[in-house]
Structure 1
Amino acid sequence: MGGGPATGTGRLLPALLLVLTVLSGLIDAVSIIGLGHVFVANMTGNLVFVSLGMAGVSGFSVVTSVVALGGFVAGILLCRSTVGRLDAPLALVRVGAGCETVLLGTAAALSAVGVPHDALVAICAVALGMQNAMAGRLGIGGLTTSVMTRTLVALVSDAGAPRHPRPLAARQALSVVALIAGAAIGALVVLHVSPAAAIAAAAGCALAVAVTAAAAEK
C-alpha cells in the first residue's frame, strides 16, 4: 500500500512513520514517568503491568493499565471508522496523524491544568491505537511505529542473509533508533520541563506528519 521504493511516496512514507516512531517513544516515556507507570503505545508492557498490579506490586495500577488497554482498542476502532475507506497511503497518514494531533493536543492542554492521570492515559492511548492501526494498514516492513520485539528479532536473526534486503534492514535499524531517541527526548522533557510539554511535543510530531502528508498529496 505504501508505494514502490522508487516513488516519491515510497520514500516519504517510511520517513513519516519514523517520525511517528519517535512520537511513540516520547509518549511512552511520558506515561511511564509522569502518568503512573503505564504504557500508552506498547500494549505488551501493559499486559505485564496489569499482572504486576494484580499481584500487589507497588507502583502499578490495574485500573490505569486497563484504561490504557481500553483506550488503545478504542483508537483502533476509531481508525477503522475514520480512515477505513481511504486507499491512498498519504491520505491515510494525513487523516490519521491529524486526528492524533487533536487528541494529543487536547491531552497536553488538560495535563497543563491538572486533569487526573487516567483521563490523560485514555486520550493518549486512543491516539496511539489510531497510529498503530494506521501503520498496520500501510504495511511497510520494519515500521510498526511502536512494537520493537519482532523488529529486533528480524534485524538480528536475518542480518547478512540474502533474503534480508538492505532497505528493510535499514528501516528496522532506524526504527529501533527512533524509538530510543524519542524515549530519551520524552524523559528529558518530563524531568526538566513538564509532562504537558512532552505531550505537546508529541502532538507537534503528529502535526508535522499530517502537514507533510497533506502537502505531498498536492
Structure 2
Amino acid sequence: MHAWTAWGVDRHHDAVMLHHLRRTPAHAHLVLMLALTFTTGVVDAVGYLGLDRVFTANMTGNVVVLGMALAGADDLPVLGPAIALAGFFVGAVLGGRLVRKGPTGWGRRSTVGFTLTGATATALGAAALVHPPVEHTTWAFTVTGVLAVAMGLQAAVARRLAVKDVTTVVVTSTLTGLAADSQLAGGDGQHWPRRLLAVVLILLGACVGALLVKSGEHGVGAGLLLAGLLSLGVTTFGHTVRDADRPEPAAV
C-alpha cells in the first residue's frame, strides 16, 4: 500500500511540474536549453578525446587549435578542426533558414531542428558502436563533419529561442556575465543561477564524455548515443509544452 501511495504522490508531483512548465514557457525553455548544454559537454569531450582534438560544438576551441597548428605547433590537427568549422557553418545556415520564418518561442520548426540534431547524434553513436572511428581515417573525419553540422543546427535553433545566457554550445559569454554582473563587480547578481548552472552542466557533460571515451574503444559511440538520446528526450518534452507559447482559445 505504501508503494502505491508513493507512486501516486510521484505522479501528482510530475503532473504539477508539467502544468507549471506549460504555464511558464520561459522556465521550460531554460530547463531544456540547460539540458542541451549538458549534451554539448558530452559531445565536445568525445570529439576532443576520441576524434583527434576536435571540438564539434565549441568553434572557438577549433579556431585556436587550427591557428596553433598552422603556426607549426607540434602534433596539432589541421584537417579535423577545419572540417568541424565548415560543418558547423553549414549546420548553422540550415538552422537559420529553418527557423527564420517560424514564430518566436518553441514552434514546430524548433522541434524539427532539435529532432534532426538528436537523431543525427544518435545515428552516429550507433554507427560508431558498430565501427569505432579511428583518428586520421575517413570514417573519423565523416563523424566529425556530420556531428559538427548537427551542432551548428542546434546552435542556430537555440539562438532563435533566445534564452538569456544559455546558447547550449559555449559558456564564455555566460561566465563573463556571471562575473561582471556579480555583486563582487558591483552588479545586482541577477540571473546568476542559470549562468552557474550552464557552466556546471557543460563541465559535468565533459566529465561524462571523457569517462565514456576512457572506458574503451566503444566510448565514442556510447558518448554520442547518450547525447543523442538525451537531445531527443529534451525535444520530445519541449514539443509537449510548446503550446504554452500560444494564447489559449476562448471558452465557448
* % identity of equivalent residues: 30
Between 1:196-205 and 1:144-153, the stretch displaced more is 144-153
Change (3 A) 1:165 1:87: farther
1:10 match: 26
Partner Cα separation in structure 2 for residue 164 and residue 24 of structure 1 = 29
Partner Cα separation in structure 2 for residue 178 and residue 119 of structure 1 = 27
Question: Which one of the candidate residues 110, 128, 133 is aligned to 2:127?
Answer: 110
Change (3 A) 1:34 1:216: same
Q: Give 1:28 shift.
A: 0.3
Q: Is the 8 A contact 2:178 2:195 kept in 1?
A: yes
Q: Is the 8 A contact 1:36 1:59 kept in 2?
A: no
Partner Cα separation in structure 1 for residue 70 and residue 186 of structure 2 = 46
1:198 match: 223
Is 1:99 the counterpart of 2:116 in the alignment? yes
Partner Cα separation in structure 1 for residue 180 and residue 22 of structure 2 = 27
Q: Secondary structure at the match of 1:90?
A: coil
Q: What aligned pairs does 1:1-218 form with structure 2 within 5 A after superposition?
A: 7-91=23-107, 92-112=109-129, 113-114=131-132, 116-160=139-183, 164=188, 166=190, 168-193=191-216, 194-217=219-242
Residue identity matched to 1:31: G
| Structure 2 residue ranges without an equivalent (≥5) | 1-20, 134-138, 244-252
Change (3 A) 1:164 1:94: farther
Residue identity matched to 2:33: L
What are the Cα deviations for residues 1-54 of structure 1, in whole angstroms up to 9, with x where unaligned?
Answer: xxxx99421110000000110011110000000001011111011011111221
Q: Is the 8 A contact 2:33 2:158 kept in 1?
A: yes
Give RMSD over aligned pairs.
2.0
Q: Give 1:78 shift.
A: 1.2
| Structure 1 residue ranges without an equivalent (≥5) | none
Aligned length: 213
Between 1:33-42 and 1:145-154, the stretch displaced more is 145-154
Q: Give 1:114 shift.
A: 3.8
Q: Give 1:87 shift.
A: 0.9
Tell me the TM-score normalized by structure 1. 0.90
Tell me the TM-score normalized by structure 2. 0.78
Q: In terms of Rg, which structure is larger?
A: 2
Q: Secondary structure at the match of 1:203?
A: helix
